[in-house]
Structure 1
């Protein structure tokens, strides 16, 4: 951000907070600058509820007044999600570059020290995660001390911050949750990472006290329900509890009907906070529907979801998602979605698909992904010339798409863009960019959701060729 503007706005904010007429201000301000914005606005939400859509000006800056601030966590959304912590009277300046979202994010103004500390804790997590693959190979008597040591480092960092800034109890709860639930998550993952999902029965070799940390889990914390560390932990924790219900019947498979039905029941059993329960149910059911390849199992999961959830909006959303999902089940014809080719011609799938085809998707917002998938497809094209590989860009900007295709020397005959990305993403049930679809020469769906980087992907291609 222009340094003069930054200083001016910061002084303006701090003066407004020190003014006797606003000392008891129940609201506050947020403002800042987005470098390389991907849209003309940001979203501010709390607990999945949109507070407002905040426009960017011609210089990609924004300034927004909240008349009333409920102390706690908010989501700041501009293509990616970022947690911020607000209190009444705050005047928070935000700076970020979308090309390096997490690395560039910085705060100034009143409330900055709290939010910069949140970022520091996030970066601690990232740094620790780099070490974890090696740690998961250790025996439990060596693994747990390593984990305890990392936890103590963060607790000491929190203690230093507390002595210097004297934060309120609400903020301390958030940071302690960050430390504790990240620790719990690693404890939960260890048996699977160490023994492997196929040998998870070896968990009985662990100490009887290994899972004692579960007694510290809060299943109904209203203040943390939108905090990704807490929410993400609960989802993975319920995956583990679900598997414990069927581990004598089948191997671990978090996309199976058996797994998801048990997961929904475990959520229902443990969570009483209605908004959190409904959100966990929605996330788990939505993921199942997105990956479903079986009509009957999908219906059973939706019936179970509808019997537990009390959120009508979630029910309507998943009903519509299921309707789209049913249309792209294996054996159905691929919807004739409109595409735009490099020459700006509008074509349908029907006019393009004349041979067995692998359809993959990419976005200019995920640079590493689109480079990796194109590199992988170049390799697969040489090995499996019987297949056509179609790349479809999911963004709105035609010229930006063409620039990337030209710059990277991609095969223009195999590069397309959705004419109406929003509609196409809905019709093809695409929520993650790494989704891949396979159809036969007649456009009949063989696989509605696979992955180029799956260890079984090439086996699947060979199986299709040998039919």
Structure 2
């Protein structure tokens, strides 16, 4: 059925594109249809800069001829989701997707569509590599090297077949081969991190040429700076490099391998600042590291230290970092939340003092991160069954969007008894959204006893038991 709809859409939109075409070969057409749209528009961006907004019509279709669009990677945003595409002058690109399975339903067709489909496949391959790494990271480095060599060879062979059929431009061929190489490099970086942290004895068996690829990484690749496979490689490179120094410590502590520790965050901030000349990409990484460093700091001194490091590298968003720090100072371990105001699902303003009846775990979520809050609540449902002695509170941070919050709670059948929304904090909404990964353990008297817990941590349930036994 999906392919039938794509075919019909292609006929309609290609006809529209042809009827409106001009004699200029610099004209590019981008159009498509979105099933179950979240909003009534899509945004075309490049390197974090919005280029154009394309409205959806009553059939949830969009389309526009764009003049003088340069060849390269662009991002199509349909908030809160986005995905990349590759466009060259003269292309007539058609896009179909269903927001219920955004990435996996996405399909590109029309003239030039295979280029975007190839990059989408590489993106999905990169996600699947997470499972592959977890299957193989315990094996010896020499064998892992052969596995990654085989994967790279297979990807290149597939590209060669596509090239013969599609007659790709030389520019796209170069990008496609680079993407394949970077996925290959990323597999090795992820493996490196895991053996460094969990199977340190294997590091002595790493072949001498295992890291030769690092000399080939271009940390200032303008064409790829918005592409997930490339930025993921850099992120994983920073991560593995940040713990390599643990080798020089006689008895490496757990803190040495803790990605949320001050020293690890500092190493990665300094490293990304020294590696790339691309200001947009550098600041995206600094945003992530600043958020993690501040929200995971356990003392006033740690917060101040992170802010000082950010000043040293001339971080562009210092005001936001300082606002985030101001929020976090209210949530150190040992502080009371009793006087903090919340809105319940009956739109009544109350404080924590009127909610806390037993040990409580509060988790933060936003309607603008749908896949994340659905995952959070699914996990919490299971935890509630296992730990009836604990209340799990969902704290929504989209203050000012109360009706949207209530609609989301109802649509997902979240338990209204345990759902609350923050009231005004006089801080920019975007700053609060940096808090969506926070979890707080709060005792019945309203005191925070732990603010560093993570749902994904293998020790999370051990922490719950310790919390119950305090």
TM-score (norm 2): 0.85
Listed as ranges, the matches of 1:219-238 within 5 Å are: 219-238=219-238
Unaligned runs of 5+ in 1: none
Cα pair distance change 1:327/1:91, threshold 3 Å: farther
Does residue 371 (structure 1) correspond to residue 373 (structure 2)? The answer is no
Superposed displacement of residue 48, structure 1: 1.5
Superposed displacement of residue 259, structure 1: 0.9
Which of 338, 344, 363 lines up with 1:340 in the alignment? 344
Superposed displacement of residue 424, structure 1: 9.7
Which of 7, 12, 16 lines up with 2:16 in the alignment? 12
Residue in structure 2 matched with residue 325 of structure 1 by the alignment: 328
Q: Provide the secondary structure at the position in 2 that maps to 1:167.
A: coil
Listed as ranges, the matches of 1:243-254 within 5 Å are: 243-249=243-249, 250=252, 251-254=256-259
Q: Provide the secondary structure at the position in 2 that maps to 1:214.
A: helix
Does residue 301 (structure 1) correspond to residue 290 (structure 2)? The answer is no
The answer on whether the counterparts of 1:35 and 1:98 sit within 8 Å (CA) in structure 2 is yes
Does residue 68 (structure 1) correspond to residue 73 (structure 2)? The answer is no
Deviations 1:244-267 (A, max 9, x none): 234434431111111111112222
Listed as ranges, the matches of 1:404-419 within 5 Å are: 404-405=412-413, 411-417=415-421
Residue in structure 2 matched with residue 398 of structure 1 by the alignment: 406
Superposed displacement of residue 425, structure 1: 6.6
Residue in structure 2 matched with residue 351 of structure 1 by the alignment: 354
Residue in structure 1 matched with residue 458 of structure 2 by the alignment: 455
RMSD: 3.0
Unaligned runs of 5+ in 2: 399-403
Listed as ranges, the matches of 1:266-285 within 5 Å are: 266-285=271-290
Q: Provide the secondary structure at the position in 1 that maps to 2:90.
A: coil
Cα pair distance change 1:40/1:337, threshold 3 Å: farther
The answer on whether the counterparts of 1:363 and 1:370 sit within 8 Å (CA) in structure 2 is no
Cα pair distance change 1:16/1:110, threshold 3 Å: farther
Which of 414, 438, 442 lines up with 1:439 in the alignment? 442
Q: Which moved more, 1:451-460 or 1:237-246?
A: 451-460
Distance in 2, Cα, partners of 1:125 & 1:452: 23
Q: Provide the secondary structure at the position in 1 that maps to 2:446.
A: coil
Superposed displacement of residue 392, structure 1: 4.1
Superposed displacement of residue 131, structure 1: 3.3
Does residue 85 (structure 1) correspond to residue 92 (structure 2)? The answer is no
Cα pair distance change 1:344/1:6, threshold 3 Å: farther
The answer on whether the counterparts of 1:29 and 1:92 sit within 8 Å (CA) in structure 2 is yes
Q: Provide the secondary structure at the position in 2 that maps to 1:137.
A: coil
Residue in structure 1 matched with residue 170 of structure 2 by the alignment: 169
Q: Which moved more, 1:204-213 or 1:129-138?
A: 129-138
The answer on whether the counterparts of 2:193 and 2:240 sit within 8 Å (CA) in structure 1 is no
The answer on whether the counterparts of 1:37 and 1:60 sit within 8 Å (CA) in structure 2 is yes
Cα pair distance change 1:421/1:51, threshold 3 Å: farther
Residue in structure 1 matched with residue 24 of structure 2 by the alignment: 22
Q: Provide the secondary structure at the position in 2 that maps to 1:358.
A: strand
Q: Which moved more, 1:388-397 or 1:282-291?
A: 388-397
Distance in 1, Cα, partners of 2:246 & 2:128: 35
Does residue 360 (structure 1) correspond to residue 363 (structure 2)? The answer is yes
Superposed displacement of residue 154, structure 1: 0.5
Superposed displacement of residue 380, structure 1: 1.8
Cα pair distance change 1:416/1:108, threshold 3 Å: same
Superposed displacement of residue 106, structure 1: 0.8
Residue in structure 2 matched with residue 50 of structure 1 by the alignment: 50
Residue in structure 1 matched with residue 36 of structure 2 by the alignment: 36
Cα pair distance change 1:456/1:141, threshold 3 Å: closer
Q: Provide the secondary structure at the position in 2 that maps to 1:32.
A: strand
Residue in structure 2 matched with residue 264 of structure 1 by the alignment: 269
Distance in 2, Cα, partners of 1:165 & 1:301: 50
